[in-house]
Structure 1
Amino acid sequence: MTSLITDNADGAAPRRGPLERGFPLPRPAPPTVSATLHRLSSMASLRAWEQRSTPALMHQAILDGVNARHAAEAAHLSVEEAHVRWGDWAAKRLAPQHPGVAAELPVQQFLSVHAAFAAALAGEDRR
C-alpha cells in the first residue's frame, strides 16, 4: 500500500533531502576576532550617531509642540539627561561659528525649548 504522505502524487519515490543523501548542511562560520571587532566598531558608530542626533530631534519635536517629558521618554532618557544633552548641543549652535555670521540656533528657539525643559523639570507639564 502506498502512502499519500511519503509518495509523490505521480507514484514516484519521494525525494530525499540533503541529509538523507549524505550532503552536509551549510553552517555559519564561527565568529572571528576581526568580525567581533567589526561588530563592536559598528555598534560604537551607531551609538555616536545616536548621541549626535538625539538632541536635534528632541529640539525639533519640542518646537513642533511635543511635551519635553514625552520627547525625553521617546529618547529613553530622563528629563534631566535629555536637558543636559540638549543643552550641550544647543550651546554649540547658539554661539556664532565665525565672526559676522549669525548663530545656527536662533535665541528664540533656544529659549522656547529651554522653557519646555524647565517646565518638565519643575513638574508643571504633568496633565
Structure 2
Amino acid sequence: ENLMQRDPEINVVYTINEPAAAGAYEALKAFGMEEGVLIVSVDGGCPGVANVKDGVIGATSQQYPLLMAAKGIEAIKAWADNGEKPQNTEGLNFFDTGVNLVTDQPVDGVPSIDVAEGMDRCWG
C-alpha cells in the first residue's frame, strides 16, 4: 500500500512467495488498481496456482520441493555408501531440479506450462 501511495503508476509486482502475491492483489484491490497490474511470484504451491487460475496472479514460477528433497537424500546416500560426491548440473554450481512458469497467458520466448498442468504438478 505504501508503494502504491508513492507511485500510482506501478504496473508490475514481483513477490517472493504466493501469499505475498495474494496480499499485493488485496492491496491493489483496495486502491482500485487490481486491473492492469501484473503480479508474478515464486513457489508453485496449489493455492498459488489456483490464484493464477483465478486471475489474482498472472504467473508463478513453480518449484518442486519433493524432487529437491529426494535428490538431496539420494546424494546423501551415495556419499554415505561410497563417498561419491554429488554432481552438479552441467555448467552450474548446484543440481537443477527444474522450474516451470505457470500461466495461462504465455509470452513468446518464455517457456511455460498452463494452469491445468501446474495443478497436476503443484504441492501443498
* Alignment TM-score, normalising by the size of structure 2: 0.26
Higher percent of residues as helix: 1
Greater relative contact order: 1 or 2 (C-alpha under 8 angstroms, separation 6 or more)?
2
Query: Which structure is larger by alpha-carbon Rg, 1 or 2?
Result: 1
Higher percent of residues as strand: 2
